[in-house]
Amino acid sequence: MLPASNLTFLIDVSGSMSAQNKLPLLKEAFKLLVNQLREQDKVSIVVYAGAAGVVLKPTYGNNKKEILYALDNLKSGGSTAGGAGINLAYKLAEENFKKEGNNRVILATDGDFNVGASSDRSMKKLIEEKRKSGVFLSVLGFGYGNYQDSKLEILADKGNGNHAYIDTMQEAQKVFGKEFGGTLYTIAKDVKIQVEFNPKKVQAYRLIGYENRLLEDKDFVDDTKDAGELGSGHTVTALYEVIPFGVKSDYLKEVSDLKYTITEVNNDFSDELLTVKFRYKQPDGFKSIEMVHIQKDEIKEPSEDLKFASAVALFGMKLRESSYFNNTTIEDVITLAESGRGMDKLGYRAEFIRLISSLNQ
């Protein structure tokens, strides 16, 4: 059973939020969340534009009419005092803190901060300070045009939280319906993953994506280093591109022999492909727990999930004009995605295929 929640909605009602795919969509999306609240849950609503203010004091989840009324009456206008809004939301969350519960600020905005603490550096510092309170953060992005993705990702990353982008009611259903637990309930914080390939099997590898999430090797066991969070029901997918041992590749560079360091490969693990180490803390913990998984060197048919994830990664490399894209065509991406489409009960994979197919017309 999920613990009782102390939620503070922090909603941007500045002038930039007036578009149909911003505040109006935000209201409808949040109603999906409100309808799932229980009697033991509490909700507060803080808004910010030229100034920040409380429009709904802590209200129990069974008083849905009162919460929905407050949402319906939100109107946009003014500049964006994001820093003041964050301070007020955390203050309210801390005053109503549930010791054994889920304490979270849910920020909804296009990220267009322009009054008060607005630079990426100052917002990062503010959120790092606020996370010490034990209140987690979910950041929901709306709209496009002036959408400030970098700011919102920084806030979620530094606030022990998650970040989602909502552009349609279908996506709202995904975030507040299918992924409801993962959006609101953190089950592990400062999650770190370290993968070590057996050099007898793999001579080179690269991690696809996660550039802004990389840590130094020494940081893996350093419990003072901040890392990502995992929500209830969430999964994390990391894709590696590898060059098997003995395979020639133009991507391999000559490395000169070291004078003082001799690198020897241990031959005791000839049947192992890689070792994965996973470290995490309990949501209210300070010491990491470590888990280790050893993957044997076994050749299997790729699963539908792997095929589809590979198609998404390949499309991402094309968008970024990656040097590793190898002149693959959009048709190749579509073919790979179709082979990994599977049952697709909710239609998310079909939506991706429609998107990239539209770019190929």
pLDDT of residue 337: 97
The CATH fold assigned to 5-184 is Rossmann fold (3.40.50)
pLDDT of residue 119: 62
pTM of the model: 0.81
Whose CA is closest to 277, among 211, 360, 193, 169?
Answer: 193
- For residues 126-145, give the mean pLDDT: 84
Between helix 304-319 and helix 330-339 the angle, nearest 10°, is: 160
Q: Is 314 exposed, middle or buried (0-12, 13-18, 19+ CB in 10 A)?
A: buried
Q: Answer yes or no: is pLDDT of 260 > 80.
A: yes
pLDDT of residue 118: 54
Structure tokens given for 126: 């503010």
More confident residue, 47 or 258: 47
147 pLDDT tier (thresholds 50, 70, 90): low
38 pLDDT tier (thresholds 50, 70, 90): very high
Q: Distances from the Cα of 323 to the Cαs of 165, 240, 314, 320, in angstroms? A: 28, 15, 12, 9
Between helix 348-358 and helix 304-319 the angle, nearest 10°, is: 30
More confident residue, 154 or 76: 76
**Chain position carrying tokens 């998404």:** 312
Q: Is 246 exposed, middle or buried (0-12, 13-18, 19+ CB in 10 A)?
A: exposed
Q: Taking the domains of the chain in order of start, what are their residue ranges? A: 5-184, 189-296, 304-358
Range with lowest mean pLDDT among 116-120, 135-139, 174-178, 238-242 = 116-120
More confident residue, 235 or 247: 247
Q: Answer yes or no: is pLDDT of 79 > 60.
A: yes
Q: Is 338 exposed, middle or buried (0-12, 13-18, 19+ CB in 10 A)?
A: middle
More confident residue, 52 or 205: 205
Percent of the chain with pLDDT over 90: 49
Classify residue 59 by its DSSP letter. E
pLDDT in tens, 196-235: 999 999 999 999 988 878 899 999 999 998 888 888 888 8
Range with lowest mean pLDDT among 38-47, 69-78, 174-183 = 174-183
pLDDT of residue 115: 45
